[in-house]
Amino acid sequence: MTLGPQIVRSALAVRRHAAGSRAELKEFQDAQLRRLVCHAYESVPFYKKLFDKHRLHPRHIRGTVDLELIPIISKQDMRDKPAHNLLAKGLDPARLLTARTSGSSGEPFVIRRTWSEQSLQYLMRLRAFNAMGVRLGDRIAGVGLVRRRDTMDGKVFGRTLELAGVTHKIKIDGLQELSEIVAKLQGFRPDILSGMPGMLCRVADYLLANGIQRITPRMVIVGGEVLTPVMRRTLEQAFGTVVRQTYASHEFPLLAWECGSGGELHTCDDGVILEVLNEGQPAAVGERGEVVATNLHSYAMPFIRYNLGDIATRGRCDVTCRQPFSTIREIQGRMIDYFPLPDGRTIHPYQILTSMIGGGDSWIRQYQLVQEQLDRIVIRVLPTYAPEAEHIARIERSVLPLLGPRVQFRVQIVPDLPLEHTGKFRPSRSLVCSSRGAAPVAHV
């Protein structure tokens, strides 16, 4: 298959989908899936071997109705394979764009794609940002990790728009002194502020603590890690504006974006097939499950039914904005952070947070759940103000019915909650080995 013309055809189709019907989008998904599976079987040794092992042939896949026939894979399945096994035949790895992620395991994993694939992904992101309310000419400030650009940087399309005056962007190093970050934001006066929520919350805390109110973007867009309800509240309070969430990874440059009507996240259905699976079956609306995704435009290095290791909740399809895209809600973090309990249960930290976060918790500015031992979980809290003893006791009591009598739960007041070396903030972590390991979330 010649990749360039196929990507161009897909780009033309993407332009009309936002105004199209759900049936048209579904038809596009089915056609793309058939094309991708056929390409992977014929051109990618990894998938040829995988499909043959499961006695699967492309003719068996009529569309999304046959997804369950395709085996689910993980990052670990691909990590130790040489590049020539994962890439389409005839492609030179040295001429492809690369993205590297190590996740929490520290083991490197390299994702490769062509320039045309990268450009199509960028167009989809532009469409999503436009849907969230980003306008041509907006001043956009990104707070994050600043890395050295290399000659194979895949963001040339975006930089071209900047040079043409279509967009105005700056990237601010989120690991420098908070006073320097704030000074740069004040000087730039962004219309849109973007970044990882943990990093932006540190800026927000600084603004609130010092009574600074001169940074007033029209919108804050976050992604790259879990956005907790407390994080959202802090950002809205500090910047006085709405917060919109995106969901993406290195393997899937855009999975979903937050809709302004109802708060659910539209999935990028013409770019990915996003499944939410509960015990291997499609989750019902409002039900949590594991995120398994297929990148419909990853021909150079296909990702077909790839377990991202995330937990999300299946959303509705009938949101009031009338866009044809399906939805998810409550992206709840990584399967790798499940907490195993003494009674044999395994729970996700989100279940603890659902039990404790509610009315009367305005004193909690930021928090981090840590399972220190099998029978001991603490929540480290960076407070807005010094809480009363009853406030702390109420939090500790609220989760007892969920955890059971064999687990000790305590609140610890701390002066700071540091970021990871990657610049991310992990709202939960288990120091106990869980039986449910999985691939970690990548970044936006």
Question: DSSP H helical segments within 1-82, as ranges?
Answer: 3-17, 22-43, 45-53, 75-79
- Neighbouring C-beta atoms of residue 363, cutoff 10 Å: 16
Query: What does the alpha-carbon distance between residue 238 and residue 286 come to, in Å, rounded to a whole number?
Result: 31
Query: What does the alpha-carbon distance between residue 301 and residue 331 come to, in Å, rounded to a whole number?
Result: 26
The strand pair at 327-329 and 139-144 is best described as unpaired
Which residue type does 219 have?
Answer: M
Among 438, 426, 433, which residue's Cα sits nearest to residue 368? 426
Give ∠ CA 363-364-367 in degrees, rounded to 5: 165
Torsion of CA 395, 400, 401, 404, to 10 degrees: 160
Residue 81 has phi, psi (to 5 degrees) of: -90, 140
The pLDDT of residue 261: 79
Answer whether 116's CB lies under 8 Å from 12's CB: no
Give ∠ CA 432-77-2 in degrees, rounded to 5: 145
Answer whether 299's CB lies under 8 Å from 6's CB: yes
Cα dist from 237 to 208, 216, 234, 262, whole Å: 8, 11, 5, 20
Residue 312 has phi, psi (to 5 degrees) of: -145, 170
Instruction: Per residue of the chain (444 residues), give pLDDT as tens.
Output: 555 566 666 667 777 887 788 899 999 999 999 999 999 999 999 999 999 999 999 999 999 999 999 999 998 899 889 999 999 999 999 999 998 775 544 456 899 999 989 989 998 999 999 999 999 899 999 998 876 554 455 455 555 455 445 568 999 998 889 999 999 999 999 999 999 888 899 899 999 989 988 899 999 999 988 888 888 999 999 999 999 999 999 899 999 999 887 779 999 999 999 999 998 999 999 998 999 999 999 999 999 999 998 889 999 877 667 788 999 988 876 655 678 899 988 887 877 877 775 555 678 888 888 999 999 999 999 888 888 898 899 889 889 899 999 999 999 999 988 887 777 777 888 888 643 333 333 222
Neighbouring residues of 97: CB distance < 8 A, sequence distance ≥ 6: 112, 113, 114, 115, 118, 152, 153, 154
Report the Cα 187 to chain-centroid distance in Å.
Answer: 30
The pLDDT of residue 338: 75
The pLDDT of residue 436: 38
Among 431, 211, 405, which residue's Cα sits nearest to residue 339? 431
For 63, the token pair is 């569309």
List, as one string, the DSSP characters of 289-348. Answer: EEEEEEETT--SS---SEEEEEEEEE--S--TT--S--EEE----BGGG-EE-TTS-EE-
Residue 357 has phi, psi (to 5 degrees) of: -85, 120
Question: DSSP H helical segments within 240-286, as ranges?
Answer: none
* Largest separation between any pair of C-alpha atoms in the chain: 67
Neighbouring residues of 176: CB distance < 8 A, sequence distance ≥ 6: none
Give ∠ CA 212-226-118 in degrees, rounded to 5: 100
User: What domains are there in the chain, each with its CATH number?
Assistant: 3-119+248-329 (3.40.50.12780), 136-247 (3.40.50.980), 335-430 (3.30.300.30)
Answer whether 258's CB lies under 8 Å from 330's CB: no
Residue 434 has phi, psi (to 5 degrees) of: -100, 150
Strand partners, 429: 370
Residue 392 has phi, psi (to 5 degrees) of: -65, -45
Q: pTM above 0.75? A: yes
The pLDDT of residue 96: 94
Answer whether 429's CB lies under 8 Å from 370's CB: yes
Looking at residue 413, what DSSP letter applies? E
